[in-house]
Amino acid sequence: MKLSFWCGILALVLAGPARAQSLAGEWQGVETDPREEGNWPAVLRLQQNKDAKIFGVLYQEVGNQPTMTVTFEMQGARTEDGVSLTHTRKLSETGQTPWTYWCDGSITFTYDPNQEKLVGNATYRPVGDCDVGTFTLYRIKLKSSPTVPANTESTLRVSGQDVRWYADPDLKQRVATGNTYRTKLSKTTTFYLTQGYFATSQSPVVPITITVGGTEASKPVAAAPTPAPADTARPAAPILAPSVKPIVLPTVLFKLGTPELLPTAIPALDQLAAELKARPTLKLRVSGHTDKIGEPQKNQILSVQRAEAVKSYLVKSGIAAERISTAGYGDSRPIYRSPDARNRRVEVEAVK
């Protein structure tokens, strides 16, 4: 959705039917119009609810004028080769003037699974000079195996355009650029990826967790030096180290829109359970948080359910239920400007 004598935002989000590949997630790119100069960077976040309805949020800004922005709520349905979305309502707008407006209408996207690319053709309501637009969006998705052998050079591969890899969620430690990263891991590791392709202040940060599955069998190598001890030989840094604020568990992630724990959560939760067993008088508060996508009431419920899911896992691991309290804050306590995937988190805190 472009900004025409008023400018626009467009939406794309989807999760597919049972056998179709899900389009849920965060897509980043741009809208253009061959008959007009300029461009409109865009971020589309899509989800699917339990009723299989597709909904999401489309953010857009005017190229070279990042103070002129719009955010639309989108709804739609899966098509044979993509998704069709309709603007349902405007959620926010900045930088508006009496002479500008954002176009709205419908967008039909075609999905390319090889590139994780959406190409959308927008048809706008005939207001002013609103007519058509073309979207090109990409998402970051892991294309190589999520499990690698320990202490062995492996190539990690993802989709996306102008990808940057970071070792920390604050994006201060860049470790690689591009669609591949060759590295050697000794323990399960989460990387935080962004795209430089028409980046905006709303560009998503995508966590990618790589699980270390085991040590590769030794192979004789002529004149090979004795390998250094693996990092895993050292005790893992404690999760419940002294802290004046709640501790974020970056690898404790959930299936989109549900309280179902992903496998990446297990190593951190196992370590947390071990620390609680070693400190039998310690009590723990688990807090769940969501991002500002969807209805606030549903986000509140989901945050409570996710905190309870962590508690349930710890109880099954042998921790007494009365030692663990839970709380859910929905989308009320973001630590990054929403929408941002890093706001979807679980925090733990030792309590007296």
pLDDT (tens digit, 9 = 90+) per residue, 106-152?
Answer: 999 999 999 999 999 999 999 888 899 999 999 999 999 999 999 99
Show the DSSP H helices in the chain as ranges: 266-278, 296-316
Name the pLDDT band for 222 (thresholds 50, 70, 90).
very low
- How far apart, in whole angstroms, are the C-alpha atoms of residue 142 and residue 206? 10
- How far apart, in whole angstroms, are the C-alpha atoms of residue 177 and residue 175? 7
Report pLDDT for 54.
84
Q: Which of 101-105, 148-152, 178-182, 296-300 has the lowest mean pLDDT?
A: 296-300
Report pLDDT for 214.
65
Would you say residue 236 has pLDDT above 60? no
Share of the chain above pLDDT 70, in %: 83
Q: What is the pLDDT of residues 263-275, one digit of tens each?
A: 878 888 999 999 9
Report pLDDT for 162.
96
Instruction: Taking the CA atoms of 35, 39, 40 and 44 in sequence, report the sign of the dihedral they define.
Output: positive
User: CB within 8 A of 124, min separation 6: which ones?
Assistant: 1, 8, 103, 104, 105, 130, 131, 132, 133
Report pLDDT for 18.
38
Name the pLDDT band for 239 (thresholds 50, 70, 90).
low
Would you say residue 204 has pLDDT above 70? yes
Pairing between strand 283-289 and 247-248? unpaired
Name the pLDDT band for 217 (thresholds 50, 70, 90).
very low
Share of the chain above pLDDT 90, in %: 50
Q: What is the pLDDT of residues 145-167, one digit of tens each?
A: 999 999 999 999 999 999 999 99
Q: What is the mean pLDDT of residues 178-191?
A: 94
Q: What is the pLDDT of residues 241-254, one digit of tens each?
A: 555 578 888 888 88
pTM for this prediction:
0.65
Would you say residue 90 has pLDDT above 80? yes
Would you say residue 19 has pLDDT above 60? no
Mean pLDDT across the chain, nearest whole number? 83
Among 156, 344, 336, 170, smallest CA distance to 251 is for: 344
Report pLDDT for 96.
86
Q: Which of 3-17, 77-91, 281-295 has the lowest mean pLDDT?
A: 3-17
CA 103 from chain center: how many Å?
Answer: 27
pLDDT higher at 240 or 295:
295
User: CB within 8 A of 19, min separation 6: which ones?
Assistant: none
Name the pLDDT band for 223 (thresholds 50, 70, 90).
very low
Contact 57, 74 (CB under 8 A): yes
Name the pLDDT band for 285 (thresholds 50, 70, 90).
very high
Would you say residue 193 has pLDDT above 70? yes
Pairing between strand 153-157 and 54-62? unpaired
CA angle 44, 266, 321 (to 5 degrees): 110
Report pLDDT for 52.
63
Would you say residue 323 has pLDDT above 50? yes
Contact 21, 115 (CB under 8 A): no
Would you say residue 227 has pLDDT above 50? no
Among 57, 68, 51, smallest CA distance to 4 is for: 68
Q: What is the pLDDT of residues 340-349, one digit of tens each?
A: 777 888 999 9
- How far apart, in whole angstroms, are the C-alpha atoms of residue 187 and residue 209? 11
Contact 33, 23 (CB under 8 A): no
> At 278, is the secondary structure helix, strand, or coil?
helix
